[in-house]
Chains A and B, each alone.
Chain A
Amino acid sequence: MSAIAATDVAIAFGGVAAVDGVSFAVEPGEIFAVIGPNGAGKTSLFNIVAGIYPPARGRVALGADDVTGLAPHLLAQRGLSRTFQNLQIFFRMTAAENVMVGRHLHERRALLPHLFALPSVLRQNRATRQKAEELLAFVGLASFADQPAGTMPYGALKRLEIARALATEPKVLLLDEPAAGCNPVETAEVDAVIQKVAASGVAVVLVEHDMKLVMKISSRIHVLDQGRTLAEGTAAEVRANPEVVKVYLGAHA
């Protein structure tokens, strides 16, 4: 079965259908982009899948588990991780510490040992730190390890969020406009990281406005318009689809 699948998902706000019966499925290792003009329902769909609010109808499944309507921290336990469009970095912590927080689900969390710095806790701290350094290296931020996140450049922070999200060892990674606000160099760096993530077997779902990025790296693209699926296919297929061209790509192709 798919790493993540949405079936006939719908939600309405104030009587207006923001998402109206959308279905998709993403396999491990795929980069699945959701695009559409403003107001198409991308954000609402994303929020449903990310557990911000439940759909009015339809199901979301992670592998064999029905996770419809589950809250974010429960989704995280089941292997779903995400980044944020407007960066929710832990600015007061260093890059390494940010990623270490991501290891939380894989650490032993009993309070008492933490109070007394038992050897098991110290060993675990070292292992967590080790893993964090590996992930920072994976996204090309090894040199920033002990730098306070608040002093890091924007593009680096975008990659840091990805590293942090990967620390939970997710099966599915949701990226909320990973290239937003990035200059071409930063976008290229994010692009490279996303491809590495997919190559490692994670199913990547991204919402993105940067068409060049989407066309370049996506395995499949899902086009939304006014809450409904307009088209789905490879970049070439979607680009050639006259409906899509009419509604969206005309200005961007």
Chain B
Amino acid sequence: MRRFTQHPYAAVVLLAAIVIAIPLATSTTFYLRIAALVFIFALAVVGLNLLMGFAGQVSLGHAGFFGIGAYAVAVGPTHFAVPSWAALLAGAAIAALLAFLVGRPILKLKGHYLAVATLGLGILIAMVFTNEARFTGGPDGMPVLRLELFGWRARTPLAWYWISGVTLIVGALIAVNLIESPTGRAFRAIHDSETAARTLGIDVARYKLAAFVLSAIYAAVAGAYLALFDALVTPVTAGFLRSIEFVTMAVIGGLGSILGGVVGAAVLVLLPQVLTAFHEYEHVMLGLLMMLFMIFLPAGIVPSLMRLMRGRS
């Protein structure tokens, strides 16, 4: 069992098992919908984890990329008669391009300077969505046309459960592949000591940029999925609070752990569901969670659990 859990692809196998198992256990559309939401957010967090947990950078503005994906599938079909799947690809491409252009200067910064620069970037993106009402519908957002593939419309929670679940598995697979490759080792080296990484011939700037661009693509795809699933997009989806939610999911679940991203997403998606009666307490709980975890369990849920298991055996 121990050797299995230490195998890098264990997380992906476990994830696949979960995705397959849930619809066998329940057909309640409400639960499937929740699960789909968890998978969608988890996808964004897996990408963010590559940047934060592995490459050791920080982004407090990732909802900006998420929002680019979301608005791409809203604006494309509605205003430019582009089919949704093409708009999704376009959204991912735009997010990647923006990350590429802005990434080089931004990633020269470190620590809280980098945090605030990304924060500023995210907020600027959200402001564009809020203000360019002619295209984006302004603060109230706009409806999103359903994804249509070969005449079939992706409408039901079950459909999106599978779409998001499979995409998450693929995304996790790619992430693990990356981590177990020279690029992944370069990320981790940069995280632990940029200085040493340089003396070993690693082009630090290039790899930081790669992590940034990749994580932007993950976020954009996730954002597009959410918009298509909800059939609605508002600037909130690209806002500061959402960026913070992503970071909280990554940190709570455990930075540097693929499974941690999924766990973190689950915690934060399920929380409002559990607290439906106490809807106003959402922010109080989120803030409390963030503080408590960073103070008492900074390693996150999954790494802490694994350490516990290793300690016992």
Contact = CB atoms under 8 A, between A and B. Distances in A.
Interface of A: 50, 71-73, 75-77, 81-82, 84, 88-93, 97, 100-105, 107-109, 111, 113-117, 121, 124-125, 128, 164-165, 167-168
Nearest to A113: B181
Nearest to B204: A73
Contact of B195 (A84, A108, A125): A84
Interface size class of B (residues with CB under 8 A): 20 to 34
Contacts of B193: 88-90
Contact of B196 (A88, A92, A100, A114): A88
B181 A114 contact: yes
Interface in B171-223: 174, 177-178, 180-186, 188-189, 191-193, 195-204, 210
Interface of B: 174, 177-178, 180-186, 188-189, 191-193, 195-204, 210, 256
Q: Label chain B's interface by main secondary structure.
A: helix
Given A116-B174, A117-B180, A72 B185 contact: no
A114 B199 contact: no
B199 A117 contact: no
A76 B201 contact: yes
Contact of B185 (A73, A104, A108, A168): A104
Contacts of A165: 199-200
A125 B201 contact: no
Given A72-B198, A73-B203, A102-B200, A128 B182 contact: yes
Contacts of A109: 182-183
A114 B183 contact: yes
Contacts of B198: 71-73, 76
Contacts of B188: 90, 92-93, 97, 101
A114 B182 contact: yes
B177 A105 contact: no
16 contacts: A72-B198, A73-B198, A76-B200, A88-B196, A90-B188, A90-B193, A92-B188, A101-B188, A101-B189, A102-B200, A103-B182, A111-B210, A114-B177, A114-B182, A121-B181, A167-B200
Contacts of A102: 200
Contact of B192 (A76, A92, A103, A168): A92
A157 to B, nearest CB: 12
Contacts of B174: 115-116
Nearest to B185: A101
Give the residue among B186, B191, B193, B203 with the most A Cβ atoms within 10 A: B193
B92 to A, nearest CB: 14
A104 B200 contact: yes
Nearest to A80: B199
A145 to B, nearest CB: 14
B299 to A, nearest CB: 11
A113 B199 CA distance: 25
Contact of A107 (B182, B195, B256): B182
A99 B81 CA distance: 53
A100 B183 CA distance: 12
A115 B177 contact: yes
B200 A115 contact: no
B199 A73 contact: yes
Contacts of B202: 73, 101, 104
A108 to B, nearest CB: 8
B183 A76 contact: no
Given A72-B198, A72-B199, A115 B178 contact: yes
Given A92-B191, A92-B192, A101 B197 contact: yes
Given A101-B200, A164-B196, 20 more contacts: A72-B199, A73-B203, A75-B199, A77-B201, A88-B193, A90-B193, A91-B192, A92-B191, A92-B192, A100-B185, A101-B186, A101-B202, A107-B182, A111-B210, A114-B182, A121-B181, A128-B182, A165-B199, A165-B200, A168-B201
A104 B196 contact: no
A93 B256 CA distance: 12
Contacts of B201: 73, 76-77, 104-105, 168
A126 to B, nearest CB: 11
B5 to A, nearest CB: 15
Contacts of B185: 93, 97, 100-101, 104
